[in-house]
Structure 1
Amino acid sequence: MRDEADSHVHFYPLVLPSKQYISNSGYFMEQKAPPRIVGLETEYAFTPITDGKFINDSWGFPLFFLRLFPSSYLCTSNDLFLYNGARVYIDTGGHPEYATPECQDVGTLIRYDKAGERMMERAERFMNQCFLPFENQKLLEWILEFHKFASARDRLRWWFESKNYPVRIYRNNIAINTVSGSKIEGPVSWGFHESYSVPAKIPWNRLETVLLPFLSTRQIYGGAGWFGQSDGVMEFWMSQRASVMYLNSNHQTVSNRSVLNTKNEPLSDKDVYRRLHLIMGDSNMSPWATWLKVKATCIVLDMLEDEAFLAGINFNYDNAAGIMRMVARDISFNRTFQFGGRTHTALSVQRFFLDLAKRFYFGEERIEADEETREALALWEFALDRIYALDISVLSPYFDNFAKIHIAEAMLHKRGIETPRYPGFLRSFRVNSETATRLKGFDLSYHRVLSEESSFMAFQKSRSCRALKEQAERTLPFLARDLVPAEAIEHCWWNPPPGRATWRYSLIKAAEAYQALRSVQYISLYWDKGSLVDMNTIPIATFSNDDPHRESTEELTEFIEKMSDPPASSV
């Protein structure tokens, strides 16, 4: 695929040098660098079933909702960091958002992401229990007497007494009444954001040039899928967020959304790291879909950071946002566009990056491929092979868009509607209003966080899904393992992962211990800094940590040691 004459990209050497040695293939192999930091921010849809409105700050309800998560009593609701290092808050449009702690591998990231989803499920269960009459009303009254709710007590009581329940929480990105094909603005779409640490000195144009073609086509396996409807015609989109992407690059996240977000809030030493912030992806129910798309992005970043490896390759690519929307509506996988001076489809662009990655890790051995990388490359190739063969049912246990196609076909068959094996029929099709309502209802229920009401969970337990899994596992045995076992959720609920999240956990625990000795009113906490504040809102002690890999700092260690020292004798 290399073509020196077609190269439109100038690659700059990295400022951060690393030691090299000669691999078995005769190429320079980089010694292992510190693990890439990855994180996810997932906005959830929260709605009372009575009127469908989202959380409103005027109710005082966010204060109650956020206190249902495992956090210290000293953390303020505006800076609600959890014991596990994650953060929960109410984002634009009244959407509860769970931001994972900084993680150093994608498997760990997925476990902390799913722990957040289960926290949302528990919060929904608890709130709806509080709304029930008799004994649970007494529980609610007791909760409202807690001093933390004093400023919002009357508004909270009004909200509960107005019967704005039961509430429901969804992990999706688009309102069910969205009109297919329209330009979407405002609160009808909410986000799923990805963060990746990259060397600070990599030029932005290099990130943009390499990433745009990859990210705008990644949705063929990374999308969550949705059924759009307009003028009685339904169509299936491979991605929800693709419908709101209208620019290639931009710094905004609420309006004028773009495939590649230029926002750079490093939350670390700005001379060492840039935080690549992506807003174009979907919120997946399947942990395997999230795992593959995040790991594949890390793989592309590995290659991008090797200045010599990509030199001379033509990545010329225009109108990434337009192509992303086109790809989302192309479930026949054969729409073409220009990339690198050649005609491509979304499938062939993904194959292009996969082939580069295989040469990078295995052919030239530029860096060593760990087990997670090897498994991701295998699943990536398996997915592309099955898509090419139009054998997509076998992918449905692992990828949300294909699960929805598989289930929708079964629903249509049950109603006597014939569906050809070729999935392109879902591009545009007419059904009666009852069938359309059922498809839209299924689409929404797929994203329920409440396990017993989730179509995703029901499908995962079905005989059909088990048979398809057995078929896939014969090719890729590692798919048999549970990516997020129950014991992992339990651990991630209360404990931070390695890195700076452990530092925040230690800071919280130190504040709680100090509060037993002296009066601490609250902890002001952010990703890279924190302070203990007294009754007069004066900081008692402040701390900072600009290295996302660092688990302890000298100032925090000294503070903890001083607390442990016995008080001096007054005699």
Structure 2
Amino acid sequence: MKRRIFGLESEYGLTCTLNGRRRLSPDDVARYLFEKLIPGKRSSNVFLENGARLYLDIGSHPEYATPECDNIYDLVVHDKAGERVLESLLLSAEKRLRENNISGSISVFKNNTDSVGNSYGCHENYLVSRQISFQKLAQVMIPFFVTRQIYTGAGKVLPGYRDNHYFISQRAQHIFGEISAVTTSARSIINTRDEPHADAEKYRRLHVIVGDSNMSEYATYLKVGTTALVLEMIEDNFIHQDFSLRSPVQAIREISHDTSLKRKLRLEDGRQATAIEIQRQYLELALGYLDRREADPLVKDVLAKWAYVLDQLEEEPRQLKQEIDWVIKRELIEAYMARHHLFWEDPRISLIDLQYHDVRPSKGLYYLLEKIGQVKRITTDEEIETAVTEPPQTTRARIRGEFIRLANKKRKDYGVGWIYLKLNDRDQKTIFCVDPFISYDERVERMMASF
């Protein structure tokens, strides 16, 4: 697979409750959550020693942006490390609550909707060649993004929504356009925010805001891996077929509403196809593209998993009850409903839906399934634990992480961004690191040697 810079930005839901009722406002909970980050300083926007960024987004949502990764495996590991970072902050915040004689428990959820219908995102970032026109990217990628939810959707219980109670995607109901510049009021499939944090003449940033937050490592791996392969084909001018949908926004909802995956979508040229059929065409293109070259083991694995999930989805989606979030969660919920003779409208069902996304291994239903071997994994606990404190070793994130680690150890006053490192001393020295692919910079090494 072509070397590329990847990143995921996950916004988390946050509550503090006592006996099922809200105990603190989201703003107050967030204040306790961020208190541990920089002792003695109140900050809700920091870079961490693993190169990631953690900050408070609109609506008091903690947002964890992974460090720059140059392969999809590292990205899955560092995405999961973000959950462990939030769990650690949660435990510290609850301790502070007890010290202040405040009763209540804090929960952090890696999902995309709250109980009153608000949505918050999981944004994907891909560094792509500036030589490819944005129009070409959008033309090829929009049908792909609309249909890939069949294996990347996180599932959502919506009791009383017409005759349907369970949807494939949490995010699909909150998408209102194909392309836009905003991420809140008029959410689109592709966002035009073009901040590559790199050489802007050479690269653009593809900012994707349509995807769900995944608990399943398998789903995250496929989500990013398949997207990377399609982008590579676009950059090599390999895709000449047009899969444009007549109404992408309508299609994204239709797919999400249809857990049978049988609904036909109208293409711009008059053809009709299911989401599975459209995804198969992208897969066949990727197989043909890679047939001309020697594919590395990771690419072969992505292709094998892509083909596998499409086969299983076409035959019987329930067969993916260990791989794909929306299937895993639906199986869990329906088993509970059968045992307790419940209907979708029962409030306990919505609670299970939410509890699936709890980041605490002791409370989250996804993690309880993981503990008993009922979900398939990509990474290991040891790799995730390492990624909590250590950056990827092959990108600019390593430079940033090592700088932050040493500056904290030496108690230096500093400033950090995605592309710069600044020492707040008498000289106010700032070093710009524009190339995200490098993992060593002699200028930064000299600066750190002077600490």
Question: TM-score, normalised on structure 2?
Answer: 0.92
5+ residue gaps, structure 1, are: 1-31, 138-159, 179-187, 418-430, 470-478, 565-571
SS in 2 for 1:41: strand
Q: Is residue 63 of structure 2 the alignment partner of residue 97 of structure 1?
A: yes
User: Aligned partners of 2:108, 2:428: CA distance in 1, in Å?
Assistant: 39
User: How far 1:266 sits from its partner (Å)?
Assistant: 1.1
User: How far 1:451 sits from its partner (Å)?
Assistant: 1.4
User: Aligned partners of 1:225, 1:292: CA distance in 2, in Å?
Assistant: 16
**Residue in structure 1 matched with residue 396 of structure 2 by the alignment:** 500
User: Aligned partners of 2:285, 2:386: CA distance in 1, in Å?
Assistant: 37
SS in 2 for 1:488: helix
User: How far 1:52 sits from its partner (Å)?
Assistant: 6.7
User: How far 1:83 sits from its partner (Å)?
Assistant: 0.5
CA shift in 2, pair 1:527/1:437, >3 Å = same
**Residue in structure 2 matched with residue 321 of structure 1 by the alignment:** 249
* Residue correspondence of structure 1 range 131-142 to structure 2 within 5 A: 131-132=97-98, 137=99
Contact 1:74/1:523 (CA < 8 Å) preserved in 2? no
User: How far 1:513 sits from its partner (Å)?
Assistant: 6.6
Contact 2:90/2:107 (CA < 8 Å) preserved in 1? yes
User: Aligned partners of 2:32, 2:95: CA distance in 1, in Å?
Assistant: 14
**Which of 83, 100, 104 lines up with 1:165 in the alignment?**
104
CA shift in 2, pair 1:512/1:235, >3 Å = closer
* Residue correspondence of structure 1 range 346-365 to structure 2 within 5 A: 346-362=275-291, 364-365=292-293
CA shift in 2, pair 1:546/1:371, >3 Å = same
- Deviations along 1:183-209, whole A, 9 cap, x unmatched? xxxxx1111111001011210100000
Q: Is residue 333 of structure 2 the alignment partner of residue 408 of structure 1?
A: yes
**CA RMSD between the two structures:** 2.4
**Residue in structure 2 matched with residue 128 of structure 1 by the alignment:** 94
CA shift in 2, pair 1:94/1:546, >3 Å = same
* Residue correspondence of structure 1 range 69-218 to structure 2 within 5 A: 69=37, 77-132=43-98, 137=99, 160-161=100-101, 163=102, 165-178=104-117, 188-218=118-148
Contact 1:354/1:377 (CA < 8 Å) preserved in 2? yes
Amino acid in the other structure paired with 2:383: A
- Deviations along 1:119-154, whole A, 9 cap, x unmatched? 21122222223333xxxx2xxxxxxxxxxxxxxxxx
**Which of 173, 179, 186 lines up with 1:249 in the alignment?**
179
* Residue correspondence of structure 1 range 163-562 to structure 2 within 5 A: 163=102, 165-178=104-117, 188-230=118-160, 235-307=165-237, 309-311=238-240, 313-339=241-267, 341=269, 342-362=271-291, 364-365=292-293, 368-390=294-316, 392-416=317-341, 431=343, 433=345, 436-462=346-372, 465=374, 482-497=377-392, 498-512=394-408, 515=411, 520=412, 522-534=413-425, 540-561=428-449
User: How far 1:459 sits from its partner (Å)?
Assistant: 2.5
User: Aligned partners of 1:281, 1:359: CA distance in 2, in Å?
Assistant: 26
- Deviations along 1:472-500, whole A, 9 cap, x unmatched? xxxxxxx6xx5221211221121110211
Contact 2:165/2:344 (CA < 8 Å) preserved in 1? no
User: How far 1:54 sits from its partner (Å)?
Assistant: 5.1
User: Aligned partners of 2:40, 2:445: CA distance in 1, in Å?
Assistant: 20
Contact 2:262/2:274 (CA < 8 Å) preserved in 1? yes
User: Aligned partners of 2:124, 2:161: CA distance in 1, in Å?
Assistant: 35
**Residue in structure 2 matched with residue 426 of structure 1 by the alignment:** none
Amino acid in the other structure paired with 1:441: L
SS in 2 for 1:542: strand
Amino acid in the other structure paired with 1:96: P
SS in 2 for 1:452: coil
Contact 2:362/2:368 (CA < 8 Å) preserved in 1? yes
Amino acid in the other structure paired with 1:532: L
SS in 2 for 1:551: coil
User: Aligned partners of 1:228, 1:446: CA distance in 2, in Å?
Assistant: 15
Contact 2:333/2:353 (CA < 8 Å) preserved in 1? no
User: How far 1:460 sits from its partner (Å)?
Assistant: 2.8
5+ residue gaps, structure 2, are: none
- Deviations along 1:413-438, whole A, 9 cap, x unmatched? 22457xxxxxxxxxxxxx375xx212
- Deviations along 1:541-567, whole A, 9 cap, x unmatched? 111111111123343233245x28xxx
Contact 1:76/1:523 (CA < 8 Å) preserved in 2? no
Question: How many correspondences in the alignment?
Answer: 446
Contact 1:225/1:404 (CA < 8 Å) preserved in 2? yes
Contact 1:199/1:273 (CA < 8 Å) preserved in 2? yes
User: Aligned partners of 2:65, 2:8: CA distance in 1, in Å?
Assistant: 6
Contact 1:198/1:275 (CA < 8 Å) preserved in 2? yes
User: How far 1:340 sits from its partner (Å)?
Assistant: 6.0
Amino acid in the other structure paired with 2:57: D
User: Aligned partners of 1:67, 1:168: CA distance in 2, in Å?
Assistant: 16
CA shift in 2, pair 1:41/1:550, >3 Å = same
User: How far 1:63 sits from its partner (Å)?
Assistant: 5.1
User: How far 1:508 sits from its partner (Å)?
Assistant: 2.2
**Which of 32, 37, 40 lines up with 2:8 in the alignment?**
40
User: Aligned partners of 2:139, 2:41: CA distance in 1, in Å?
Assistant: 42
User: Aligned partners of 1:339, 1:126: CA distance in 2, in Å?
Assistant: 52
User: How far 1:85 sits from its partner (Å)?
Assistant: 0.2
Amino acid in the other structure paired with 1:48: C
CA shift in 2, pair 1:78/1:95, >3 Å = closer
User: Which structure has the larger Rg?
Assistant: 1
User: How far 1:458 sits from its partner (Å)?
Assistant: 2.1
